[in-house]
Structure 1
Amino acid sequence: MGVFLTTMLFFSITGTPTDAACHCNTAAACAVFPSSPCSQVGCQDGWFGSYCQRRNIAIGQRATQSSTFTENSDRTGYTDYRFEARYGVDGRATTNFYSKPFTCTHTATGDKQPTWTVHLSSSHTDKIQHIKLYLRDGFLDRNKGMKINVGGQLCFQWSTDRYPPASADVKCQQALTGNTLIIQTSEYLALCEVQIFVCSDGWFGEDCDKQCHCFVNTEICDKITGQCLSGCAPGYMGTDCQTECPDGYYGNCTTECGNCLNAADCNKTTGICLGDCEPGWLTDTCLQPCEEGYYGDCTSKCGNCYNAACCNKDTGICPGGCAAGWLTGTCLQPCQDGRYGMNCASHCGNCLDGHVCNKSTGMCPRGCAEGWMNDTCVHPCPGGYYGTDCTSKCGNCLENDVCNKSTGICPNGCAAGWINNTCHNMCDDGRYGSGCTSGCGHCKSGTVCDRTNGICGSGCDGGYSGARCEQCPATSGHSNQVVPVAATLGTLLILALIALLTAIIYIRRLKNQLGVLQKKPEDNYISLDERTKDPVVENTYEQINNSTPYVNMGEDHQGRI
């Protein structure tokens, strides 16, 4: 509505008048005026030209002449008839001097300077240039040297040996302003009709067929040249303001059309695009760019451009690329889940419960999964820490291993003295070692041994010894040598017994043999081979004989050797 009112106001003060009076001869012709000329139907009385805008300002005006011819003949019905000056502007155009009713003027015989004058309205200020004369046919040579003056200024003159035709279109040498038009000859002056043509307001040209195009539409252009003091109306150029602006320009014809869709031409008067605007432009003239942050038909919002830059108002493309978290030329497509940052080139970190990170910053909305830290959760816990936000310290892993940074579990188990997966729990009282599988010894007064190595720091209960108080009570003061010495002595004792038993068996066998020999003691004794008299055996025998009672092995006796 605002655009409409602005346009109406614009045309109310500029451009071509649209209320020019129609002088066509029919109402139908006036219905399409001035789009179509009146030439097919003719004009109302007193109007001429193709558009019936050429007016005869002499018709009906007061006329005078230097003398008046009176005739009384059969042509006049034998009555005196005066061919007065007024007949020259009565509107009946003819070259037949005696046409009925009589309609021509004539000066009297003997007039040495015959003249005819029409007195125009005192309010008339239009310039005069186009005149038409209807002269008496048959005596044209009387008009040699005819002269026409407008307002005392020479309009046109024939040479003394030339004369105008019976119907003469006269164009003044220049447009003249005046309230009188005077025609003069040297002999007789007979005029059947004099027409002085002036264009109606808003029209100009020889035929008054051109409309004025003044910047101020109340201005009446020069009716001869069409020139406007206020300049040309929008859409026109040239001295007569009749040349339309070239394609692509409007207004004063130096202003380029806006950004019409498909490079279409705008209205040369208003600059309004006949279709829509190219993407990125607004208003009916398509000269106003989209507001910052919009593009296309100016209702589409720019995407997420880098550094909040404005997108191209035509295409929506961000000139410096997308802000972090966005893709494509218009930066309206977010990163795929799991990616973030410039050009979506970065992978999300290890967010808690598999949540998607912020696609611009990479920050995990609910924090990191166990074992990861910092806002983006791409940094693992430092050595020795694990769990949520890496706030939990690893337990006592075997050989100082680093625990699992998510669960805290020691990969190879716990150091001696510690149990559970995270190795944070010490062995129960009374247990020690790897996996707490060993029981403490007999520590003094029931005190707890060292959970790492089982050593009783306060000593052992009575009778027990060793660092872990695990040895039984000792029988001698040589507590550390009792077992090996006893073992050695036992071995020697067994070997001695075996040797003794062997010797006894051997001796028994000898005694059996000697018992047989004792039945004949003297014979047997004397007959003993001297080689059997071994001194060792004899001595042994004597000793046995003297210290050990004799026992007959053949008899069923029990006793000790």
Structure 2
Amino acid sequence: MANIFFLKTLIFTFIMISSNVSGQCNTHTPPCSLTCRCGTSSDVCLPVHVMGCGSLGCRPGWSGPTCQKQNIVYKATKVDSSSELSVSNSDNLAFDGDLTSVFRSAIEANPSVTVTATSSRHPIHTIQIYNGATDLNDLSGFEIYVSASSDFINSKLCYRDTTAIGKSEYVINCTQPLTGLYIKLLVPKTTSLAIREMEVYVCGEYWFGSECDRLCNCQSASTRCNGVTGACPYGCPDGRNGTDCYSECLAGRFGRQCQSICHCKNTASCDKVDGTCDDQGCAVGFKGDNCQRACSSGEFGEGCEGKCHCYPVNNCDKETGQCAGDCQAGFKGDNCQEDCEVGKYGRNCAGDCHCKNLTSCNKEHGRCDALGCEAGYTGSYCNRECSTGRFGEKCQYICHCKHAISCNHVNGTCDEGRCAAGYKGDNCQEVSGSTINVHTPEPNKNVQIYFRTNRRSLIWAKSPQNKETASIKGRPESNKASSTGLLAGVCVLAGISLVLMIYAVISTVKGRRWYIRFQQEIKSHYDSAQVPRRERSSEIYENTK
């Protein structure tokens, strides 16, 4: 067996020397950065740190499974006690590493011993005291203080013994992690202080735990952790958390201190370090290499490939596309993904198109194409009804309702079919009185004047297209008066009284004067705004039958 061990050690030593890592231990990645504390002159450690030094043992002042537990008062030279001791009772005997030698003070009040540590790199981990008194109770009630200065003005209490019966050996931990160069053991009573050995332990660089056998697991491999708790001053590596940074992130978490949330499809777990998802990809509403980028404004759904149509656009749910408010102009539906149907436009498709021949309008703003607006509507977007008193295509027709009530803006119908005097029909556009034709110099551009039978009450004028003449539906009263005058003349020739002849003359003159006035009124009405300008003429001709 000895030969086998020697062979293994020889092979290991050759490997370490060949790798140029003599005196160092293998950690996360080569080259090694941990100092060996093995009990050989070459300080060669086994390549796997958890195996420690094997049978080589630890160097003096170091212990533990990996030889990383250091007694920082081992072989201390700076020791002070409360009593003047003889050489045989030197206070250094309490720190020489020999459990057979005893340091003993004289019987006195509050005897104490103070030692200056060889290092103050790490917080004190463990203090071990071996009682050297003949009566073990002499040490009961002792106190330990740690200070950064020798005067102990700002010292901190590490431990106070509360047992009534003394023990032969004490293994204690400070109530709080303390770092200091000066350690004092005090017995607050009148007694003799006697101890065989006092050992104060800290962990070596990058190690922690009760036996200093656990490596620090900090964000940076070169960062030292707390030698007692393993806590890292700058946090844990990505994917780890906990006081000692050895706990893996829970499912659904990753990254620094496990603060980031996975966003993988079907709630799958992501990589604990960088958050990348497997082949399933990102959850809906997220994108990017590690699915940490939420969909941008205006995007939603799996891979953020959906396009939002909300108003405003940032009111879109990143997962479903559901809108918190209205849809954009031209869209409708629960998540505003449906186009407006034919004849609708605007936000939530609430607007009605009013285009000629029922053609569809622009889905966003309702503008019609070159055909223009349907009857009863006007404006650039055909969204305004004809103004009061107008109706029909391009709002070019005038209402003729009783009491000047406005008609239907589309077809001109009046309420209960009540037309103004002189008009009739479904939309009160037919004249119920008489007409007279007035010709313009242009062919096929005759103007027909309509009037009521009660004299001089003209209603409106229009030009019948493609007609050379227009029939007269009646005669004005002036014409009737002229007929009466002719009849009276016949009566004169028949020998009727002179009175009738005089009446005929008067009636003829009166009727002719009225007819002249009637012509003037026709001329005035013809020149008014009711007759289109292109149909007006400087001459008027009357045509009666």
TM surpasses 0.5: no
Q: Which TM-score applies when normalising by structure 1?
A: 0.41
Q: Which TM-score applies when normalising by structure 2?
A: 0.42
